[in-house]
Amino acid sequence: MAEWETTAPAALTIDIHIPGEPHAQGRARHSPLMRGGTPVIGRGGRPVVITYDPTESRSWKAYAKECIRQVIVNHWLPSAAGFCVPLEGPLSLSVLALFTMPAGRFLKRGVGPRAWKTGKPDTDNILKAVKDAASGLLWLDDKQVVNPQVWKVVGAQGEAPGIWLRVRTLTDADIPPGLPPGF
């Protein structure tokens, strides 16, 4: 344990598993707003442009939302007296993105071990997709996540891919002591 880590228990911890290959938030797409086959022209004489999520990102986030909803309904709502979702206040979010081992790394004997995934997708984009999927279900807004951590790992040989989330509520007592000014 690092010296700045708190030993005080968190008020609430929620663990969630989203099975399947991890997915990152894709780049936003843009297209002109069309009416009757012609672009709508806005003030200033330029076409009105709409921005939208790529289809793959939208469908993964819908799937992740359903996985999160199932955990809340099946595990938290029936057993937690006074538990209220979406959560309010500062939160810590830990994300493990476990990817399928490429066939070229399989061992003929034994099991190929886990390894760090240093290629695409970026951890920022994985985190963005997860935070977007959980907004409104686990928390009111993704700005509540004040302590995010993301790990990208290639799974061991035969290990199923997926994303594991751990959400913890935080208090001011969880702020690491002795942070230097500007850190």
Q: How confident is the model over 19-31, as a mean pLDDT?
A: 82
pLDDT score of 33: 77
pLDDT at 77 exceeding the cut of 60:
no
pLDDT at 7 exceeding the cut of 50:
no
Cα–Cα separations (whole angstroms), residue 168 to 28, 67, 104, 161, 180: 30, 18, 38, 23, 25
Q: What is the DSSP letter of 47?
A: B
pLDDT score of 4: 37
Closest CA to 17 of 150, 162, 180, 176: 162
Q: Residue holding tokens 């009105």?
A: 48
Q: What is the DSSP letter of 105?
A: G
- For residue 84, name the pLDDT band (cuts at 50, 70, 90): low
pLDDT score of 120: 92
In terms of pLDDT, which residue wins out, 88 or 127? 127
Written as one letter, the residue type at 65 is K
- For residue 111, name the pLDDT band (cuts at 50, 70, 90): confident
In terms of pLDDT, which residue wins out, 116 or 49? 116
pLDDT at 146 exceeding the cut of 90:
yes
Q: How confident is the model over 77-103, as a mean pLDDT?
A: 78
- For residue 29, name the pLDDT band (cuts at 50, 70, 90): confident
Tell me how crowded residue 43 is: count the other CB atoms within 10 A of its CB.
6
How far is residue 110's CA from residue 62's CA, in Å, rounded to a whole number?
37
Q: Residue holding tokens 């920022």?
A: 124
Helices (H), the chain: 55-71, 123-134
**pLDDT averaged over every residue in the chain:** 82
Q: How confident is the model over 19-38, as a mean pLDDT?
A: 82
Q: How confident is the model over 103-131, as a mean pLDDT?
A: 85
Q: How confident is the model over 119-135, as a mean pLDDT?
A: 93
Q: What's the CATH class of domain 13-32+40-172?
A: alpha beta
How far is residue 29's CA from residue 80's CA, in Å, rounded to a whole number?
41
pLDDT score of 76: 60
pLDDT at 171 exceeding the cut of 60:
yes
Written as one letter, the residue type at 8 is A
- For residue 5, name the pLDDT band (cuts at 50, 70, 90): very low
